[in-house]
Every structure is written in C-alpha cells, then in structure tokens.
Amino acid sequence: MTDSPKFLSEAESAALVDDELALSAAREAFLATATGSTFPVVIGRSSAPENRFTLKSGSAGDLVGVKVGSFWPGNVDLPRHSSTIVLLNPATGRLSAVVEAASANAYRTAAADALAVDILARKDSRTLTVIGTGHQALHEVRAVSRVRPIDRVLVVGRRPDAARAFAADVTARTGLTAEPVDAQAGVTAADVLVTATTAREPLFDASWVRPGTHISAMGADGPGKQELPVQLYEHATLFCDLTEQSLTIGEFQHAPDAAPVQLGAVLAGTAAGRTSDDEITVFDSSGFALQDLTLAAALLRRSTAPGEAQ
Amino acid sequence: MTDSPKFLSEAESAALVDDELALSAAREAFLATATGSTFPVVIGRSSAPENRFTLKSGSAGDLVGVKVGSFWPGNVDLPRHSSTIVLLNPATGRLSAVVEAASANAYRTAAADALAVDILARKDSRTLTVIGTGHQALHEVRAVSRVRPIDRVLVVGRRPDAARAFAADVTARTGLTAEPVDAQAGVTAADVLVTATTAREPLFDASWVRPGTHISAMGADGPGKQELPVQLYEHATLFCDLTEQSLTIGEFQHAPDAAPVQLGAVLAGTAAGRTSDDEITVFDSSGFALQDLTLAAALLRRSTAPGEAQ
C-alpha cells in the first residue's frame, strides 16, 4: 500500500478549529469559486425519513472530495448536525483523508458570513441583529463581531425565553451587550442583520430594513426553505456564495429572476461589492463543497504542525 | 465522544473479501431495492478533467451512506479505480465507518453479475463468453463460473494479444479452458455472454445472439456508455439492477422505451425471470449504492469476527 489515509476525529478537529482558521479557509474557498468546480448537491435520507444527509462535492486546485453532512433532528444528547469530509488524493484518486467536522462545520458556516460582512457591510456597522437562537447563531455573532466594531447585539427568536437565554449566552461568551427584541425592532435597528434559522417563510417585512443595512441569510440550504421576503430584492444588491446553488436550494430559489453576484468575484476584484453607504446588500449562503474541502485541508495542515496550533 | 468510527484499510478489506461474501452482500442489496432508497448519482471530476469520481448514496434498513468511486485513468502503478464507502450511524447520523474497497469493489460488481446469471441464465449454461480483457473481466469469469457449470470460456478483445494473454490468465487462475475468439464466434457460441468494457458503442451484432442466451452488460455506468445493440431488445426480456439508473446512466439510456424489470423483484418472487429455454435474457448492471453499503457492512462484520474469515 502507498501512503495511508489520514483521519481526524471529531475531538481532534474540534480542538484544532478556530475562527481564524475558518475565515482563512473560507477566503480560499470563495476565491476558488472562479476556477474550481462543484457538482450537484444530493439530499438523501436514512430509512427514517426525518433523518437527512447532504452530499456536497467539488474540486479546486489540488483539492477533490465530498462533505457528507447529516441532520438527525431526533438527536438528544448529541448535536443534530454532523459532518464528515472525505478528501481524495488528487494524483491517484485514492482516499487521502477523512475529517469528522461537526464542530468545525459551525465555524465554517459562520466564517462565510464573516467574510461576506467584511466585504459588504458598512465599515461603521455597530449593531448586529441575529434572527435565530440556535447553536449556529452564536457562531455567527462571534464571527461577525471579529470583523466589524459590533457593540450591540439584538436577538430575535420565536420564543421569548429562548431569545432571553440566547442574549445572556452571547454576553457571557463574548462580553457584548445583547438583548432580546421583537422582529421589527431588531430589523429596523440593524447595521448587520443575520438570519440563522430553518424557516420556510419570510422572517420579517421588507419595509423594516433601513438603507445601508447588510443582510446575511445563512439558513436556506434546501428546497422550500426561506428566510427573506422577496420584496427586499427590489431595493437591494444581491450576492451569494454559488449562483447555481443559491437559485435552487438557497434563498434565491424564491426569486428566480434574481442574478446574484458571487462573493468570490467581489473578493477577487472582478465584481463590485457595496457602492454606497445607503445601499442594502444581501448575501445568501447555501454552503458549498469548496468551503468544506479548504476547511479539511486547513485542519489537516494544522494537525501536522502542532506548534502552530492555537 | 461516543463510539469511534471504524476504519478498514484497502489492505484489510482486500484480505477480507471473497466471492461468497460479495454474493451474499449482493443478494441482500438486490432484495433491498424493494424497500430501500437510492439518491441521484453524482459524477464529478478533479481539477484534471480526465479524473472522475462518482457518488452513489442510499439507505435501507439500518444502512445509510455513500460510496465514493474514483477513476483516475492515468494511474500507472496503482489501480485506476478506487472506492471508499462511508457509513453513517443510523441512530445518530454520525460517521460510523470508512471502508476502503478498491479490490472489494471488483468482487461486488462481479457478484451482481453472478446473481443475475444464477437467477436468469439457463441451468445448463456451459459456455461463457466475456467481451473485455481488463481486471474486472477476470472477476466476472470467476464469479459466474461459481454459479453455473461453465467448462469453456471464450474471450473477445479489441487487441488479439490482450485476448490471448487474458485467456491464459483465466486458465492459470481458474483451471477453465479459455481461448480468444472473434466477436461473432464468441457471441454465437455463448450460453452466457458478459460484457465488461468501457465501450461507447455496441460491441456486437444483435443477429449473432442465439435463443436461450443470457447477457450481462456490466460496463455502462455513465452517459454515453454503451455495450449492447438496441436491436437486441426487440427479442429479449430485459432486467436491470435499478430502473431509474439503468435508464439514465446504464445500458437502457439508449432504449428510452425499455421497461426493464428490477432483478430484486425476481429475487423476491414478485416478478418473473426467465420463462423458457429459448428466451434471451439481458441484465444491465449500472451499480447502485445499496451494493456498496451491504458490502461494507459485510466486510465490517467479518473484520470483527476473525474466526469466521476465510
């Protein structure tokens, strides 16, 4: 046999990942959208139909592989989401590495948001509103507050007690002032608005959004999911991670005439980002394979250079 | 962390697999086509576009997962095909096992052929003709000769020297009489005809096929691939592994009006197989995820019960 495949367990990848690694991997992935390839997303299920898995595969440079994401809603003592990234050796096609990445996946998704905020939000954005009070939402707050001078976090949740608890958690973990508010108050006050839910209908009214707001829609990643009102798109500039995915499984499945700009093109300087302080910018994240491949590669590099781990 | 994922290396799975294990796993997989699920096949590629990978995913019973098959045509010292099977824990969605299965994959594919021959070919089939002289073809000869009293193997290859060498290899490895012949002689003499090529056009003339012949088409597994002449279907009874795949990436992509019967239905007794000794039966194998999942599970069972390994 030739070189053995590398394996990073969930415990190992969870110990290796941090926001900086994830943001660097996200930047690499978004830049690679110009030259890399992604292949059709498969949404499968187990024999119990409520348990779903997603296959996202792609290749770019010397990376080629697939992320198996799973969502088992009935998990009680374990996270409901899991993630396994499989890398092939680009020279031989053989298995190169397997990275369990359930914890890292939350960093990866939040890093795409942070990258979008860093590229698209006003530099003076101070108020961050997050709709959603789950595990992912906390990652979003932390990642976004690293790239903008956020000094106030507003939390919108369906259940008031969950919103209160989440706000307390934000303060405890980040030191930021955080308070639960209703949707209209939260949307109206936002410099940056992040939606991180599993919603299947719009979470707010488009008329509530102030000029200059940046919105990152993180939730929609399958048919039927929706967080944003389509009326918003009449007065906003639209961005996404990957156009073909965004129009089929992302937020813009509900706006078939939308022509969102891929964030990677803005990052590469081949497309414009925000052009004025009054512009409303919308970024839709559907999540794409190259994020997973660059994340796995970054984790593997750090695992073999322990002196550089943080 | 809960239970750690199991890992079977290529060397381990190659040492564990045999025709009997593969045939048993194939039977289990074909029976599961009645109740299990398979999801759309993804055909991707690396940055070098000649290198391709295929994702086949599915679930049945307590099995859920994906096979990553790869085909790197430029491999010189390594096999061109590789295979990695990823199983998820049906209770939690977390990674359960990773099985490298390049060698085992050849057994798995040949086992589907053996199962089809066992179900569909005349009991007195003695002459096996194989078109194709590659690695897979040898597996087909061995697996088929376990289920029928084959006493003569005829070999058809594009290059006479390859056909001669392959025939010698068959005799050396199986003890069977084997000889290279031209396509017409091979097809006309066959009780069982197996095609195991990467052809993109028919390998023989339909008029050469005698009544009573069974044909297993093992090669077609992607758009544009074809081994059989469509004229054959006017006088043959058609079977396949999985109808939706067979009509899109298998042999019957070239016969859109074909309504092949799934072999699993014959195995389960819910559909008829061969009904007379004069019938021509055709089985198309496109390869489906449940074969990979049952194979991986069988290898894992054998790996933890070494006393039962052969």
Residue range B229-244, pLDDT digits in tens: 999 999 999 999 999 9
For residue B122, pLDDT over 70 is answered with yes
Q: Under an 8 A CB cutoff, do B90 and A44 touch?
A: no
Q: Is A67 a catalytic residue?
A: yes
What does the pLDDT look like over A100-142, one tens digit per residue?
A: 999 999 999 999 999 999 999 999 999 999 999 998 999 999 9
Q: Under an 8 A CB cutoff, do A78 and B47 touch?
A: no
- Helix locations, chain A, DSSP H: 10-16, 19-32, 102-120, 135-145, 160-174, 183-189, 243-246, 263-268, 289-303
For residues B138 and B173, the answer to whether their CB atoms sit within 8 Å is yes
Q: How many CA atoms lie within 13 A of A75 on its CB side?
A: 19
Active site members of B: 67
Mean pLDDT for chain A overall:
95
| Start-to-end C-alpha separation, chain B | 34
Cβ neighbours for A30, distance < 8 A, ≥ 6 positions apart: A112, A115, A241, A262, A263, A264, A267, A290
Q: Does A231 touch chain B (CB under 8 A)?
A: no
Alpha carbon dihedral A310, B6, B8, B9, in 10-degree steps, equals 10
Task: Report the pLDDT value the prediction gives residue A269, as an integer from 0 to 100.
Answer: 97
Q: Where in chain B is the domain with CATH 3.40.50.720?
A: 111-287
Cβ contacts (< 8 Å) between A95 and chain B: which residues? Answer: 68, 82, 84, 98, 100
Task: Quickly state the pLDDT bin for A234 (edges 50, 70, 90).
Answer: very high
Q: Does A15 touch chain B (CB under 8 A)?
A: no
Q: Under an 8 A CB cutoff, do B42 and A37 touch?
A: no
For residue A9, pLDDT over 80 is answered with yes
Task: Report the pLDDT value the prediction gives residue B2, as an integer from 0 to 100.
Answer: 55
Q: Residue A7 is nearest to which of B7, B39, B40, comparing CB atoms?
A: B7
For residues A99 and A8, the answer to whether their CB atoms sit within 8 Å is yes
Q: Under an 8 A CB cutoff, do B94 and A70 touch?
A: yes
A109-287 is classed CATH 3.40.50.720: yes
For residue A230, pLDDT over 70 is answered with yes
Task: Report the pLDDT value the prediction gives residue A42, as an integer from 0 to 100.
Answer: 97
Rounded to an integer, the average pLDDT of B135-149 is 96
Q: Under an 8 A CB cutoff, do A59 and B71 touch?
A: no
Give the percent of chain B with pLDDT over 70: 98
Rounded to an integer, the average pLDDT of A67-86 is 95
Query: Residue B71: closest CA among chain A residues belongs to which residue?
Result: A93
Task: Quickly state the pLDDT bin for B1 (edges 50, 70, 90).
Answer: very low
For residue A68, pLDDT over 90 is answered with yes
Task: Report the pLDDT value the prediction gives residue A3, as an integer from 0 to 100.
Answer: 76
Cβ contacts (< 8 Å) between B39 and chain A: which residues? Answer: 42-44, 55
Q: How far apart (Å, rounded) are the C-alpha atoms in residues B296 and B87?
A: 8
Q: Does A87 touch chain B (CB under 8 A)?
A: no
Q: Under an 8 A CB cutoff, do A37 and B47 touch?
A: yes
Task: Report the pLDDT value the prediction gives residue A47, as an integer from 0 to 100.
Answer: 97
Q: Residue A95 is nearest to which of B43, B48, B84, comparing CB atoms?
A: B84
Rounded to an integer, the average pLDDT of B84-90 is 98
For residue B7, pLDDT over 50 is answered with yes
Q: Answer left, alpha or beta for residue A175, where phi above 0 means left and psi between -120 and 50 means alpha.
A: left
Q: Does A207 touch chain B (CB under 8 A)?
A: no
What does the pLDDT look like over B181-216, one tens digit per residue?
A: 999 999 999 999 999 999 999 999 999 999 999 999
Q: Does A76 touch chain B (CB under 8 A)?
A: no
For residue A207, pLDDT over 80 is answered with yes
What does the pLDDT look like over A86-99, one tens digit per residue?
A: 999 999 999 999 99
Q: Residue B70 is nearest to which of A1, A68, A93, comparing CB atoms?
A: A93
Q: Under an 8 A CB cutoff, do B48 and A93 touch?
A: no
SS3 state at A122:
coil
Q: Under an 8 A CB cutoff, do A55 and B66 touch?
A: yes
For residue B306, pLDDT over 80 is answered with no
CB pairs < 8 Å spanning A and B: 170
For residue A281, pLDDT over 90 is answered with yes
Distance from CA of B251 to the nearest CA of A (A): 23
What does the pLDDT look like over B254-289, one tens digit per residue?
A: 998 999 999 999 999 999 999 999 999 999 999 999
Task: Report the pLDDT value the prediction gives residue B285, as an integer from 0 to 100.
Answer: 97
Q: Under an 8 A CB cutoff, do B93 and A46 touch?
A: yes
DSSP string, A271-295: S----STT-EEEEE----HHHHHHH
Task: Report the pLDDT value the prediction gives residue A307, as an integer from 0 to 100.
Answer: 59
Q: Residue A93 is nearest to which of B1, B82, B94, comparing CB atoms?
A: B82
Task: Quickly state the pLDDT bin for A69 (edges 50, 70, 90).
Answer: very high
Q: Under an 8 A CB cutoff, do A82 and B61 touch?
A: no
Residue A127 pairs in a beta bridge with: A152
Task: Report the pLDDT value the prediction gives residue B305, as an integer from 0 to 100.
Answer: 81
Under CATH, what is the fold of the domain B111-287?
Rossmann fold (3.40.50)
Task: Report the pLDDT value the prediction gives residue A154, as an integer from 0 to 100.
Answer: 98
Q: Answer left, alpha or beta for residue A287, where phi above 0 means left and psi between -120 and 50 means alpha.
A: left
Cβ neighbours for B99, distance < 8 A, ≥ 6 positions apart: B7, B8, B13, B84, B85, B87, B295, B296, B299, B300
Q: Does B193 touch chain A (CB under 8 A)?
A: no
Question: Which residue in A38, A55, A85 has the most chain B C-beta atoms within 10 A of its own C-beta, making it the best mutation to test that interface?
Answer: A55
Q: Where in chain A is the domain with CATH 3.30.1780.10?
A: 6-105+290-308
Task: Report the pLDDT value the prediction gives residue A306, as an integer from 0 to 100.
Answer: 58
Q: Would you call A161 exposed, middle or buried from its count of C-beta atoms within 10 A (0-12, 13-18, 19+)?
A: exposed
For residues A216 and A192, the answer to whether their CB atoms sit within 8 Å is yes
Distance from CA of B293 to the nearest CA of A (A): 12
For residue A2, pLDDT over 60 is answered with no
Under CATH, what is the fold of the domain B6-105+290-308?
ornithine cyclodeaminase, domain 1 (3.30.1780)
DSSP string, B36-91: -EE-PPEEEE-SSTT-EEEEEEEEETTEEEEEEEEE-TT-SSS-SEEEEEEEE-TT
Distance from CA of B90 to the nearest CA of A (A): 7
